[in-house]
């Protein structure tokens, strides 16, 4: 019984799978814009309230039908440096790209949305191409 628990723990946390369902996922990644205008007087702000300028965020696939105007993201918070999940406007993000993610904490949060399959990679590539077509890249 103890050996079964140990092997289960070992395979879950230490084994590097290389196929679908392994310890990597395809994901859309972006950076928070350095500066943007806010308010009626167009005050210039650096980053956002929750993320530093240039912070890397991991984006969920489209979850609702707004044309990816608002994006659910995971990133390191500006104040605490802990991983947080936020919904933010896609216009506050730039440098969209597709990356293979190996971080266990990111994978754990996104496991139901992205995976290591070719279909997941293709969806991410199409999403980044559509964002580049909108002039947000």
Q: Which domain holds residue 39?
A: 19-133
pLDDT in tens, 41-98: 887 777 888 999 999 999 999 998 888 899 999 999 998 889 999 999 998 899 999 9
Residue 7 inside a domain? The answer is: no
Residue 110, judged by CB atoms within 10 A of its CB (0-12, 13-18, 19+), counts as buried
Give the count of domains, the chain.
Answer: 1
Residue 85 inside a domain? The answer is: yes
The model carries a pTM of: 0.79
Residue 9 inside a domain? The answer is: no
Residue 123 inside a domain? The answer is: yes
Residue 77 inside a domain? The answer is: yes
Residue 11 inside a domain? The answer is: no
Q: What share of the chain is helix, strand, coil (3-state, %, to 5)?
A: 30, 30, 40
């Amino acid at each position: 019984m103890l050996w079964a628990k140990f092997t289960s723990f070992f395979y879950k946390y230490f084994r590097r799978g290389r196929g679908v369902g392994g310890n990597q996922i395809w994901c859309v990644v972006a950076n928070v814009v350095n500066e943007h205008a806010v308010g009626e007087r167009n005050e210039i702000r650096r980053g956002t309230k929750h993320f530093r300028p240039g912070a890397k965020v991991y984006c969920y696939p489209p979850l609702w039908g707004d044309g990816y105007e608002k994006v659910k993201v995971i990133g390191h918070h500006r104040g605490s440096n802990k991983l947080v999940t936020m919904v933010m406007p896609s216009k506050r993000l730039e440098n969209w790209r597709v990356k293979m993610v190996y971080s266990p904490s990111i994978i754990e949060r996104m496991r139901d949305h992205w995976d290591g399959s070719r279909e997941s990679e293709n969806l991410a590539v199409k999403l980044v191409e559509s964002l580049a077509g909108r002039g947000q890249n």
